A and B are shown apart, each in its own frame.
Chain A
Amino acid sequence: MPELTHGFKIDRDKCDGHLACMRACPTQAVRVREGKAHVLPDLCVDCGLCLTACPSGAIRAETRSFAEFDKFKYKVAVPSPVLFGQFPMAVGPGHIVAGLLGMGFDAVWDFTVELALVNRAILDYVERWEGPFPLLSVSCPVVVRLVQVLYPSMVDQLIRVQVPRELAGLEAKQKFSEQLGIPPDDIAAIYITPCQAKSISILKPAEGAKSNLEGALGISDVYNNILALTHTLQEDQVQLASNHSICSGAMLRWTINEAQGQILQRHRYMSVTGLANVIQVFDDIEKGKLRNIEYLECDACWGGCIGGNLTVDNIYVTRSKLHRLLAEVPAAAPQVQAEVERRYPATDFSLKGRVRRRTTNDGPTDLRERVRRMKVEEAVTRALPGLDCGLCGAPSCGAFAKDVARGTGQRSDCVFLREGRLRELKTTYLSRRKKPPEIGEQFGVSPPPA
């Protein structure tokens, strides 16, 4: 199996082994050994909760710099609609587009048309689908990976309709290639992303194909640049930029939660946000519930993409701004509808590969061995206290028992099974500390008499 690429790096020097990342991880993909965290790549779904949880700042998202795209002759920014809700109200869509151009992008792509195309394709797909329901949206890469890892029986329910950003990348390159007379390979379509997960999904799509986008920059990577530039912009530049890009209401609406509900009005549609909630709903689906829901839109981030880990403003402020913006910009321009009509029949919406369950490397093929492991796991579980204290370096007693059965963990790592373990932990953790002041010293009281 080719090595999975993940978007997060743990800096071993900075890691204090706090266990916060291990406890935050929804797929139990983190282990802490000798006071340092590491990731089991097969289980990681790129959600980024570890990054948010780490108190030492040891986990960082790997991002690209704008300079890396310099080898391309023409650079097109494909901004997530979320970007437009990040700035102070005085900085409108025109300023933002002008800011991106000022940063060095040659063009900014408004993907209103692609959003409308995908919406229609989803509606068609739902209406033709004869397999098991609910169909699941693929727009959030974390959700797609979660299904691959934890809900393999549901992979065929992931809707096989390409996401708007990918269609936008393809269309942008085709259009500018024709317009400028240069080969598409000389053009970079760069997504301005609200989260690390989408950036990984561009580098390493779940369906195993090649993305139509050349890479991504985080909203937080371009934010300061744009803000600084907006102060120096001349009014005519802003005007020019506004003409350059039609920022329509339809595009902004997409970012506000339950966007697809409007398109699927006649169908049983449900929206779930927040990874813990998604997991709860997926558990129910696995038990055979929710079969009457036809389309399930899931976002790993609470509140949807405006809650992405590379956004700048908080989601409530962003949502409020987007609502105000919506009132100011035109809804869909008539030329958008015409463009959708023209392109829909000729557009290939299919994913370029099949999303499959992610095979983990640990399983022996021999049934006898697998049964043996399961029995070991049961026996270890019975010997454990079930407190999920995490001192063994695994997130739960259950995960620890699995590790022992698999041979990647040792019984002796549990403080309940071996008292010496606690002494070792003290050495590992307390030796890292600077000597704490005596309690008496700190509070100005004298120590109790001996």
Chain B
Amino acid sequence: MDEELFRQTYSIHGRDFDKAGETAAHIKQILRELGLDAGLVHRAVIIAFEAEMNVVMYADEGTVTFTLTEDALKLEIADQGPGIEDIELALTEGYSTATDQMREMGFGFGMGLPNIRKNSDDFNLVSEVGKGTTVSAMIQLNSSA
């Protein structure tokens, strides 16, 4: 069944490091309240956190949309940012375009997108240079993958 049971959209502001992580924390709270399996919650939170950080680090504005059906949990992260030139390269572990300042804060080790992909059962990335990037990640609820 694909019927949507729950949907929530959060807006993320670029360079707002102070509030970064709040969306992921809120999603975690909802998932826990719904009593979803802890491993699954953990995966979803990694996805939400990494995606949120990407928006905070690189884009001006973005949204995280979290939807739930009986079979799956979906996260769609869309931003109006610089876009990604070489998607394959961006998905390589360790590849990063982070500035020194970001690294000092403990980010930008080139694990964000690879981590999102690793924790998703289905992953899709669409990007246009100069316009923005949309990442879609899906986790199946009934699989233990």
Contact = CB atoms under 8 A, between A and B. Distances in A.
Interface of A: 152-153, 287, 363, 367-368, 370-371, 374-375
Interface stretch (B11-19, B33-41, B127-135): B33-41
A368 B70 contact: yes
Interface of B: 5-6, 25, 30, 33-35, 38, 68, 70, 141
Contacts of A374: 6, 30, 33-34
A427 B47 CA distance: 54
22 contacts: A152-B38, A153-B38, A287-B25, A363-B35, A367-B5, A367-B34, A367-B68, A367-B70, A367-B141, A368-B5, A368-B70, A370-B34, A370-B35, A371-B5, A371-B6, A371-B34, A371-B68, A374-B6, A374-B30, A374-B33, A374-B34, A375-B6
A371 B69 CA distance: 10
A19 to B, nearest CB: 26
Contacts of B141: 367
A322 B134 CA distance: 64
A432 B38 CA distance: 48
Given A363-B35, A375-B6, 17 more contacts: A152-B38, A153-B38, A287-B25, A367-B5, A367-B34, A367-B68, A367-B70, A368-B70, A370-B34, A370-B35, A371-B5, A371-B34, A371-B68, A374-B6, A374-B30, A374-B33, A374-B34
Nearest to B35: A363
Main SS at interface, chain A:
helix
Contacts of A363: 35
Contacts of A367: 5, 34, 68, 70, 141
Contacts of B70: 367-368
Contacts of A368: 5, 70
Nearest to B32: A153
A287 B6 CA distance: 24
A370 B25 CA distance: 20
B29 to A, nearest CB: 10
A153 to B, nearest CB: 6
Nearest to B1: A368
A409 to B, nearest CB: 17
Contacts of B68: 367, 371
A152 B5 CA distance: 26
A64 to B, nearest CB: 38
7 nearest A-B pairs in the assembled complex, by CB-CB distance: A371-B5, A370-B34, A371-B6, A363-B35, A367-B70, A368-B5, A153-B38
Nearest to B71: A367
A153 B38 CA distance: 7
